């Protein structure tokens, strides 16, 4: 996205579409639901998974700090809190530049913000984190 910047809402919506296409690439169906704190519902057979998508732009380089994607993952307009199982099942961290996603089961989310190296976003990481996340969620439901 060199040369211009998107409004925050446009960036977020773009991330939701990227995440939705990544879900479909894994053989699941998906619906955009765009409710407060819930962006997608993925489903396969009789299994439904609630997904919260967070999208970040690449930070500017500063002395002593590498460029990264800085995700604001908390919930609430003021006094943000950590997401929990009452909010969603999965946190999707979307890199809009490479159109890749890293997935996390919400039980492993213990932060309000997270910095991720651009190198962490690969097609293999997207597939592996999806598989591990689904395994964790389905295992917890048994």
Q: What contacts 24+ positions apart, CB below 8 Å, involve 24-32?
A: 26/127, 26/130
Full set of structural domains in the chain with CATH: 8-141 (3.40.1350.10)
Indicate if the alpha-carbon torsion angle 120, 75, 80, 83 is positive or negative. Answer: negative
Write the pLDDT tens digit of every residue in 27-80.
Answer: 999 999 977 779 999 999 999 999 999 999 999 888 888 899 999 998 887 788
Predicted confidence (pLDDT) at residue 92 exceeds the cutoff of 50: yes
Exposure string (b/e) for 12-31, b if CB count within 10 Å is 16 or more? Answer: bbbbbbbbbebbeeeebebe
Give the predicted TM-score (pTM) of the model.
0.90
Determine the average pLDDT of the residues in 111-126.
96
């Amino acid at each position: 996205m060199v040369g211009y910047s998107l409004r925050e809402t446009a960036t977020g919506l773009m991330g939701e579409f990227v995440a939705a296409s990544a879900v479909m690439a894994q053989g699941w169906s998906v619906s955009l639901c765009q409710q407060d704190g819930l962006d997608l519902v993925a489903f396969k057979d009789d299994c439904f998974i609630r997904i919260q998508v967070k999208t970040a732009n690449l930070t500017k380089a500063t002395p002593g700090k590498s460029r990264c994607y800085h995700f604001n993952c908390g919930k609430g307009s003021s006094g943000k809190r950590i997401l929990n199982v009452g909010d969603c099942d999965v946190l999707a961290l979307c890199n809009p530049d490479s159109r890749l996603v890293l997935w996390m089961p919400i039980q492993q989310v213990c932060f309000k913000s997270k910095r991720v190296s651009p190198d962490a976003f690969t097609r293999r990481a997207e597939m592996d984190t999806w598989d591990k996340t689904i395994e964790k969620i389905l295992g917890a439901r048994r």
